[in-house]
A and B are shown apart, each in its own frame.
Chain A
Amino acid sequence: MALVGVSVSIEAVQENKIQEVTLDGQEIVIPPLSMSESLAKSAQKIDFTEDGSEDHSAKTSEEETGDKEAATFQPSLWPWDSVRNKLKTAYTEVGVLLDVLNIAKEKKYMVLTHVQQDTSEPKSAVQLLAKKKGIMLQSLISGLSAASAVLLSGAERLKRSHEDKTGASSDKFHMELLKLRQSWRLKKVGNAIIGDLSYRSAGSRFWQGGTFEVTKNTGTSSGDQTDVGSALQNPLQVVIPSELEGTAYVQVEIKSVPDSMNLMSATLQMPDAIGRTPPNSHWQERLDNAQNLLFCKELFAQLAREAVKMKSNVPHVVVGNQIITNIFPGVQLSIVLCHSSNKADKKGVLQGVSQPARTDNKPVLEHSLHQLLREVHHKTLHLDPPQPATATFGFTKRRRLAGPLGLSRADLKEMADSETLLEQIIQQARHEVLKFRTMATIDRLAEEVRDPQIMAHWSCLNSPLQSNMKIIITSSGYEAVRSQGLVTFQSLDLEIGVDSLKAVTKDRRVLQLGFQEKEVEDLIRWQISQHHIALSQNIARMIGWEVLGCNGCNGVGAMEGFASSSSIQLVAPKNDRMLLIKSGPTSGLHVFLKIDNKDNLDPSLAALVDPKWLNLGGTFREIDMEQIEGGNLATKLELIMAMVCKKR
């Protein structure tokens, strides 16, 4: 049985799409489209370019499509088909246009509204931003152009002003600065360029520092046309502190002072002006002079300090810029710091002119002083590195090894003592004096003594504290006279030390001599006398005479001033002629010949007495060697011996 009157309605499920499910379970649904929205959506779906007949008649569409389909299957049945279609589309389109116009005009049933479009808004924001940026950029450009204009004008002005003043560009100053930097240390402190010309970086610990300033030359001498240098004026100028102005040098002099005890009478020496540096000389010259001055000051300060502190037998006197000390009795060493500043030192100049060649300074000792100070600097910087690296710093290697080696107190004390600068230079000066004196003595003797020749050979390698030389005494022409392998000459090896000499004779005797010149002279004279006898002995043997006796050191006879004389007795080979030669350092050379007194013999005794008994005694007469012909003793002796050798 069917129930009548029950209405069954079918409707779509109100199932909207869920846009989002929130965290608390709530569902946010997409609200269903409103009527106008759904219409718009549908309208969008319509494709207005399609055949209009299909849309307008939905009812008869099926039928018509069937007819049309049937119709289209017969393409060339109706020739006006295409015309009809075209007219129909035109008509449709006009109809739509009419509808649109009606809607737009009447606004009764339908209103033209905007369809939701999101793309239109962004377009305006971009435009705004672009506009803003454009404005900003424009203002920026205008500002920058204003600034650049200011800068350019300023630069123009500077350039002009600079060119007007010097006539050279600023490049030259920088080129000069570059050159300066290659030789000197510079650094920039604030606005100024400061340089250092002291020896601090080389190890000096002098209290006075040398800083100079580098400035640009302002060229105020443009009005001074007579100055030739103005055209080549240096764009760079150095400002040196006032105490380092001028030039200086250290002068070492050794003079013999007869009044040796009176040190107080030493005269204060005014320095000879070696020339002031003109103020506009090249910066290199000025800096060099200032540095040299600083070095000399340090050297002199150190020497003066040591002179005052040192306790020695000979007192050192430090007066003003001079240090005076006696190195030998009668010989004085003076070290002077000569400083001529740039201020007009007229007195100094005058004195220098009046005594032009007064200086007998020792440049070798001055150089030595410079070297010694440099050595001190070097030692300050170059300390032995400690090994291991954690050990105490500053010890020498020997001191560090003192512990492990077990050095005694005496050794340590010896290590701790080091010589001061003054002591070292005094020693060098002493050696210099001694060497010079010895040289002079030997040269004088060589000139004086003609008979044996004295030759002095100096060693070419010497040290500042020791020199060696060899003296050879020969008779010219008889150097190679050999007798039983002995060569006839005397030789002496002299070692000149600081305050004494050591002589080694040919027979290897070592003699210590003092610093007196006379000692060397005496020694040589004695050696000459020895030579005479040795020579006579050799010649006698060579010729054939017999040596009856030879005495190197006579114990009898008159005493010599020093040393002793030596003598030799020779007898002729065939007859009974005897020669006696005696040579002493002070008494000189004497030759005696036995006078034959056979003639004086009493004829009555001739039968009793054998002539040979007459040989026992006899008178000796001295021969005047001056009258014998011959250059030296050897030739003279030869002559005598030859003459005397005639058979009787």
Chain B
Amino acid sequence: MGVVCVYMYPVPEGKSGQQVVDSMQRQLELLGAVKTGNFNVDCETYLSNNPQGTPQRSLHLLHNSEQPASCFSVLDTGTTLVADVLFEVLMAKLTQSKSGKDGFYQQRKGFKIESKGPRFEISDFVIKIGSVSMASNFKGILVEVEYCPCAIPAECWDLMREMMQSFMGTVADTPPAIVKSKKDQFYTPADTINQYLEHFTNFRKATVASQQPR
């Protein structure tokens, strides 16, 4: 598992998301990248059914095609659990309403958000350009860059920044907050997921904010 940085690439006015993705793809191919398939990161949210009075807690369930056997779940407190895919079955059981009583959790409809796109490999780097969509509405572009050989961010951050600046420009000046906080520790897949979750939350907030002034 290498070090992963996820950035949101701003879509300039007038251009569509697809155009931006294509242009980036061309840039990468010029650099010598090889397309090795597609990737998919998705997130579903569950809300707890608490008795009256207690605030509702949320649980996010994420999948990453890079770790096909795993299922990640993040609580609103920040606790992250990396589990086998059978965890979904457990969630389904918790969500089930039996004999009139509601289940412990309920799925928040229409909140499923995912990032899909092509996956490229350039020697030790893996670059993914994902178009984020929520209920088939395009929301933005997330670029993920992974440097496989190293697992400690402090050691490879400079190299990664150089790589990212070559095709992303100034977007990647500072490391993401999570990478910064874990500079000298081992980087884990759970950290990648937290980065994605942060971006997804931002996209959702942006949706709510844009919907509100009506």
Contacts and interface: CB of A to CB of B under 8 A. Distances in A.
A406 B65 CA distance: 11
Interface stretch (A244-252, A396-404, A453-461, A583-591): A396-404
A409 B66 contact: yes
A583 B183 CA distance: 56
Interface residues of A, number: 13
A409 B119 CA distance: 13
A408 to B, nearest CB: 6
A57 B52 CA distance: 119
* A interface SS class: helix
Contacts of A405: 70, 82
A2 B169 CA distance: 162
A405 B71 CA distance: 10
Contacts of B67: 406-409
B75 interface: no
Nearest to B68: A409
A404 B68 contact: no
Contacts, number: 41
A403 B188 contact: no
Contacts of B69: 399, 402-403, 407, 412
B178 interface: no
Interface string B4-34: 0000000000000000000000000000000
A403 B63 CA distance: 11
B94 interface: no
A406 B189 contact: yes
A403 B84 contact: yes
Interface in A408-426: 408-409, 412
A403 B67 CA distance: 8
A403 B66 contact: no
B190 interface: yes
Contact of B84 (A400, A409, A412): A400
A404 B1 contact: no
Nearest to B190: A406
Contacts of A412: 68-69
Contacts of B66: 408-409
Contacts of A402: 69-70, 84
A407 B68 CA distance: 8
A497 B98 CA distance: 62
B1 A403 contact: no
A368 to B, nearest CB: 34
Contact of A406 (B70, B86, B87): B70
Interface string B53-91: 000000000000111111100000000001111110000
Nearest to A406: B189
Interface of A: 391-392, 399-400, 402-409, 412
Interface of B: 1, 65-71, 82-87, 188-190
Given A408-B1, A408-B66, A409-B67, 10 more contacts: A391-B86, A402-B84, A403-B82, A404-B82, A405-B82, A406-B190, A407-B67, A407-B70, A409-B68, A412-B69
7 contacts: A400-B84, A402-B69, A403-B84, A403-B86, A405-B70, A407-B70, A409-B67
